[in-house]
Amino acid sequence: MKIGYARVSTQEQNLDMQIRALKEAGCSKIYTEQQSARKDRPELAKAIEHLREGDIFVVWKIDRLGRSVKELVTLLQEFESRKIDIVFIKDGIDTSTSTGRFLFTIISAFAELELNIIRERTIEGLKAARARGKNGGRPKALTKSQIQQLRAMHADKSIPVKDIQNALSISRATVYKYLKTDSTQ
CA nearest to 9, candidates 40, 39, 35: 35
Cα 37 to Cα 87: distance, rounded to the nearest angstrom? 18
133: left (phi over 0), alpha (psi -120 to 50) or beta: left
User: 58 and 87 in contact (C-beta within 8 Å)?
Assistant: yes
- Active-site residue list: 9
User: At 79, is the secondary structure helix, strand, or coil?
Assistant: helix
